[in-house]
Amino acid sequence: MQENLVTIASYTDFFEAEMAKGFLEDSGFDVFLQNERFLSMYSSIAGDMYMIQLQVYEDVEEEATALLEDLNDAYLCSQILKRENALLEGHFQLTSGNHSNQYIEKIRVLQNPEATYTLCKRLANRLSEYNFDVVIGPAYGAIVLAFEIARILGKAFVFTQRDEGKMVFRTGFDLSLCKRAVVIEDVMSTGGSVKEVLQCAANHEIRVVAIGLLVDRSNKRVDFDIPVESLLRLDIPLWSPEECELCKLGAPLTKPGSSDKL
């Protein structure tokens, strides 16, 4: 007897649907996507009328549905990092001057607009409970993230940059209506850039009510006394140059990226 297919989830985000499908397939389920081709071809007009339907066989509906609930923000973010080859292994000097055996090349994620949108949507959901009117992102990596989150939530957007070593708002922005803000950062290790943005906001009497991160690799070394929402927390070693285990072994040192943030 032919088994029936049942829909256990629906998506307007093609990338997220594919991630959910892969998650269940890795767990041994036969998974099917309906309307996938149509939405991928006509995403600008399909909207909610043709949502991608994630389907499994009827006899495993309950088990697959329960498992799908585990597709949380952390799993999704980690899988995207792996899929985009953004989590690098080696011996790296971070922009703070500290050394590490892992580096997150967020540019590889930002290079994929669908992956970026999926992560921004997840982080926007986390931040939607806060009362604010503007999203702030420090240059350069967080500009894209902050802009997309602002667009999703219908908020204003501004960004900061360094001018002669000091974090300032980009000239030209109208800050008169910016009273309450969230700050977005891509990857945080020491929290130096975020602290600079907080001070910059305070200088303009803008109250920051929350901080949103794609990845928090600070190992709980940073406390802003402000709520922090992060999609993924990674416990990655961080050493000063004098204490670096890889330096002691003579491992070649790489200085990736070109940002001047901490």
pLDDT digits (tens, 9 = 90+) for 25-52: 988 999 999 876 555 555 544 445 568 8
Query: Are 140 and 243 contained in the same domain?
Result: yes
213-259 confidence digits (pLDDT tens): 999 988 777 888 899 999 999 888 889 999 999 999 999 999 886 54
> Do 147 and 184 meet the contact criterion of CB atoms below 8 Å apart?
no
Last residue of a domain, one of 19, 36, 70: 70
Domain final residue pick, 33, 49, 70: 70
Instruction: Tell whether 103 and 229 lie within a shared domain.
Output: yes
Amino acid 40: pLDDT:
53
pLDDT value at position 72? 81
Same domain, 63 and 148: no
Nearest-angstrom CA–CA distance, 214 and 216 = 7
Q: For a pLDDT cut of 70, what percent of the chain falls above it?
A: 91
Containing domain of residue 24, as a range? Answer: 5-70
pLDDT of residue 69: 76
Do residue 191 and residue 158 come from a single domain? Answer: yes
State residue 1's pLDDT score.
43
> Rounded mean pLDDT of 63-78?
85
Domain presence at residue 259: no
Query: The domain spanning residue 196 has which CATH number?
Result: 3.40.50.2020
In this prediction, residue 191 has a pLDDT band, given cuts at 50, 70 and 90, of: confident
* Residues 207, 147 share a domain: yes
Token output for 121: 């949507």
Q: Are residues 122 and 89 in the same domain?
A: yes
* Mean pLDDT, all residues of the chain: 87
Determine, yes or no, domain membership for 89: yes
Say if residues 75 and 128 touch (Cβ distance below 8 Å).
no
Contacts of 129 (CB under 8 A, 6+ apart): none
Written as six digits, the tokens of 200 are: 């910059």
Q: Is residue 258 part of a domain?
A: no
Q: Are 125 and 173 part of one and the same domain?
A: yes
Q: Are residues 90 and 219 in the same domain?
A: yes
pLDDT at residue number 41: 52
Q: Does 152 share its domain with 203?
A: yes
For the chain, the domain total comes to 2
What's the pLDDT at 262?
39
Q: Is the peptide bond before 140 cis (omega within 30 degrees of 0)?
A: yes
pLDDT at 11 over 90: no
